[in-house]
Structure 1
Amino acid sequence: MAEIVDHELHIVMFPWLAFGHMIPFIEVAKHMARKGHRISFVSTPQNIDRLPRISPELTTLIDFVKIPLPAVENLPENAEATSDLTYDKVQYLKKAYDLLREPMTRLLESLAPDFVIYDFVPYWLGPIARNLGIKTAMFSIYIAATLVFTGPTWASMGGDHRKRPEDFTVPPEWVPFKTHVAFPYFAIKRIFDAVEGNASGVSDMHRFGAAEEGADIITLRSSYEVEPEWLKLLEELHQKPVFPVGQLPPPSAGDCNSRDETKSWQRIKQWLDLQRKSSVVYVAFGSEAKPSQDELTKIALGLEKSGLPFFWVLRTQLGSSDTDSVKLPDGFEERVKGRGFVWTTWAPQVSILANDSVGGILTHSGWGSVVEALCFERALILFALLSDQGLNVRFMEEKKMGYPIPRNESDGSFTSDDVAESLRLVLVEEEGKVYRDKAKEMKEVLGNPHLQEQYMDNLLNHMKANRPMTRSNK
């Protein structure tokens, strides 16, 4: 125990206000706390109250610090996370988040941590911490391929020749190896405000560059077993240490089944347990976006045509301010009764994926869902909606980790037959065996607890060796 105390670090963690960001941050915090380090996890009150509870043995090492979110015009009241908002309103959340600059400065002054680990959105935090003598790390929930595509600092902070959506549909000039990782035109068009800027006055591209420039080290949810060439190139582009933290795998199947005892889960489990092994398509598109009405209709009709059993976690609205709710085709639920199950409230994704009846997942391709699915050998059918998902699809397609539903490159259109044929290919047909086999192969890599420990130890050893000298004996 004396050794743990001697090497103890105090680390402030400050994620972006999206659960797809906060959850990986809290997983990293838990790994670090288990090694004896103290964590101050900073977020807004509602978000902290909505985070998963941590185990009792970590409560003395992880302190949740609530920092009120300032009100700004056009941001709905009580909206503190991207999941509370439609995509067009997220820019106002960024505007409010940037107003936390002064409160965060005062908080860092009072806490005086050894390190602050921050997300790409608070691009302003690195210089603040440096002026206070605090070491910095930017933690990216995005994989190395995405960070490389965003570019070296000179490019993302204004020097990039890419000015039109078309420019982002090909690999950038600084990637020396052959790859198809780039945005489909329809995918970059949907999020082009990330390049052009938004109501916050700062583009996401600039945020990435400034956050990386202000960090002593770059950390990210990744591993050399999955993307060695991209991690090596990322370090070359930024000329600073890059530490993957591993893939942050979910609990084992046994842990999931023993943990979830709610009535909702029991009802879901009862239905899943009646299905044949590896026969069910799990359908989920995350908490940050939803398909359009046209996309939803075609997905539903495709599921119907496939003839496969499915469990669909359907989100019809994004927050209380979302007036553009989507609905299933008339008579759909009656026609698929017994074979399909539509669930419209929160569902325990990891427990569902852990159930033996599930053979694959139709997913938005967010990396968190990808890792969870592959850790349970679930084959991937890919359908990008927003953010980095278009890049993730190309990355996984290139490595045969998943099969994308065929879509028109220009407008993203597809047919219900495309959906049905993709589902059957990946889950049933001989041609899709490569994706089922790849899921088994990836389980051994992504779900390896020894690898996960090694990545976390590498990062922590570097942090301990490079903490501020004036704090080493506190």
Structure 2
Amino acid sequence: MESITVPPTMANNNKDSKLHIAMFPWLAFGHMIPYLELAKLIAGKGHKISFISTPRNIYRLPPLPPNLSTLISFVKLPLPENPNLPEGAEATADLPEDQVPHLKIAYDSLQEPITQFLKTSKPDWLLFDFAPYWVPEIAQTLGIPTAFFSIMIAAVLSFLGPTSPGIPPDDRKLPEDYVVPPKWVPFSATVCLRLFEVLRLFKEITGDETNVSVVYRYMKILRGCDVIAVRSCAEFEPEWLGLLEVTHGKPVLPVGVLSTTPNTDEDDNETSRSIKDWLDRQSKNTVVYVAFGTEATPSQEEATEIALGLEKSGLPFFWVLRTKHGEEAVKLPEGFEERNEGRGVVCRSWAPQVKILAHDSVGVFLSHSGWSSVVEALTFGRPLVLLPMSNDQGLNARYFEEKKVGFELPRDEQDGSFTSEAVAESLRMVLEKEEGRVYRDRTKELKPLFGDRERQNVYVDKFLEYLTTHRGCRTT
């Protein structure tokens, strides 16, 4: 995929013409993929997209459908060299978690090239992520209207804090302040962090002398953007979407849940065929699917308890156990794979998650609570056992349990540890027992909402209608 510079003539204020939208996601595949899904839906309606990222990340994105290749241009901005980053590291998946701050510093060095691109291409709108807190000022100077596109649900965004002058400011300072719902939430809610999650995230919340905090980035972005776009829908979290408008005093536009488009090339993959053969041999609604996304990796202690819990459950399982670049692979209990041969599979490479979740044999999904994975699960009506590991996942888990689409695995409040017995019991409860029926029934009820692409696509239409109507509303 070649880098394409969009000529200035592409910018056009004629209300009847198509839009040119630039997109600038954070350098994590959990962010880039939803941005690309939205880009494909927008391009499918005839609008032009400039998708901005680094060369290696663009190379690793899924291929575009042929009918969209002329409408989506990939703009490659090389990352400046950083002595603290390994060679070739351009995404969070390339790094251990403790090195991700160095990637943010390198990303912050893209201010000049992004300014030059925006000056040259003059897009009608710029959609950006949480990380480039310096982008709103650049766009405002150039007279380009902006939308912060959040890949997180509105409940999580609301937890981060208000920016509207009419709302009392966030005065949380101690870890204990984050274990209750924020004071600006006017309705009954359970969305808050648990103590062990706060302690793990506290540096991200407060920042340090080398890097601004994640919360600071979000707040600057939320203050500086013209519009907040959210990967969500009004049927799933109406009260939180409404609260966002109040706490930030600007339009909040849901764009739908953006279910991942399956890659048809996966059917011809030998790995995919062998996985399907194994799933075909299992009974309907019996398999435990275990996966923790591209970013979350269980510790050695957690992996041991998960393995023993799967074994104790007596259920068939398919476990995707990958290792992030630069991290040591976790070891499974001695003899685990031999004892469970035939009943369970441990896959240490890529696996086609959408196709696995679509298979009738899958009965429950043990997940890290990442929104993309939950969207995929609910698209096929699969109930969840939730094991949040980092970032926004704990907040997600509280809301998903509140909505009765998943059961959160019981853990120690101080250190987040859990037992193999809790793993086994949680899986059996959600999959088989009467008290788990509420999760099984609720996910079946939501399947028509999450699985209906046309219904979700209406949100994209409304979003584009807003962008088209307001594209001339530039500040300079």
Give the equivalent residue in structure 2 for 1:265: 272
Structure 2 match to 1:449: 453
Structure-1 residue corresponding to 2:354: 350
Alpha-carbon separation, structure 1, partners of 2:131 and 2:264: 35
The residue matched to 1:63 in structure 2 has which SS? strand
**The one of 459, 468, 473 aligned to 1:464:** 468
* Distance of 2:364 and 2:22 partners within structure 1: 37
8 Å contact 2:55–2:76 — kept in the other structure? yes
Secondary structure at the counterpart of residue 268 of structure 2: coil
SS at 1:149's partner residue? helix
Q: CA offsets, 1:245-303, max 9 Å, x none?
A: 0111234xxx6678522011011111111000111010000111201110100000000
Residues 112/244 of structure 1: CA separation in 2 closer, same or farther (3 Å cut): same
Q: In the alignment, what sits opposite 2:202?
A: 192
Deviations 1:190-222 (A, max 9, x none): 122221214652111110011111111000101
Q: Which residue of 1 aligns with 2:76?
A: 66
* Separation of aligned partners in 1, 2:61 and 2:179: 36
Secondary structure class of the residue paired with 2:448? helix
The code of the aligned residue for 1:145 comes to A
Aligned to 2:31: 21
CA distance in 2, matches of 1:182, 1:361: 23
Choose 446-455 or 39-48, whichever is displaced more.
Answer: 446-455
Quick one: which of 221, 227, 233 aligns to 2:231? 221
Q: Percent identity?
A: 56
Q: Does structure 1 residue 103 correspond to structure 2 residue 113? A: yes
- Alignment map for 1:27-176 (pairs within 5 Å): 27-153=37-163, 160-176=170-186
Distance verdict in 2 for CA 1:113–1:256, change over 3 Å: closer
CA shift digits 1:40-83 (9 cap, x unpaired)? 00000110000001100000000011110112232211111111
Are 1:257 and 1:351, in contact at CA under 8 Å, matched by a contact in 2?
no
Q: Which residue of 2 aligns with 1:281?
A: 288
Aligned to 1:371: 375
Q: Structure 1 residues 256, 442: closer, same or farther in 2, change over 3 A?
A: farther
Distance of aligned partners of 1:325 and 1:199 in 2 relative to their CA distance in 1, 3 Å threshold? farther
TM-score (ref. length: structure 1): 0.94
Which range moves more in the overlay, 224-233 or 450-459?
450-459
1:325 corresponds to 2:335:
no
TM superposition shift of 1:449: 2.1
- For 2:256, give the aligned amino acid: G
CA contact (8 A) 2:162 2:170 kept: no
Residue pair 1:14, 1:117 contacting (<8 A) in 2 also = yes
Q: Distance in 1 between matches of 2:350 and 2:97?
A: 20
Report the residue type matching 1:171 in the other structure.
P
Residues 236-255 of structure 1: pairs in structure 2 closer than 5 A: 236-251=246-261
Q: Counterparts of 1:301 and 1:51 in 2: how far apart (Å)?
A: 35
| Partner Cα distance (1:259, 1:299) in 2 | 28
Q: What residue ranges of structure 2 are gaps of 5+ in the alignment? A: 1-13
Pairing 1:314–2:321 present: yes
Q: Which amino acid aligns with 2:429?
A: L
2:196 and 2:344 mapped to 1: Cα distance?
30
- Structure 1 residue 397 corresponds to structure 2 residue 401: yes
Q: Distance in 2 between matches of 1:427 and 1:210?
A: 43
Read off the aligned partner of 2:450 and give its amino acid letter.
L
Amino acid at match of 1:79: A
CA distance in 2, matches of 1:440, 1:146: 24
Tell me how many residue pairs correspond in the alignment: 460
- How many angstroms apart in 1 are the aligned matches of 2:224 and 2:210? 20
Q: TM-score, normalised by structure 2?
A: 0.94
3-state secondary structure, aligned to 1:153:
coil
> Is this contact kept in 2: 1:223–1:246, CA < 8 A?
yes
CA distance in 2, matches of 1:200, 1:100: 17
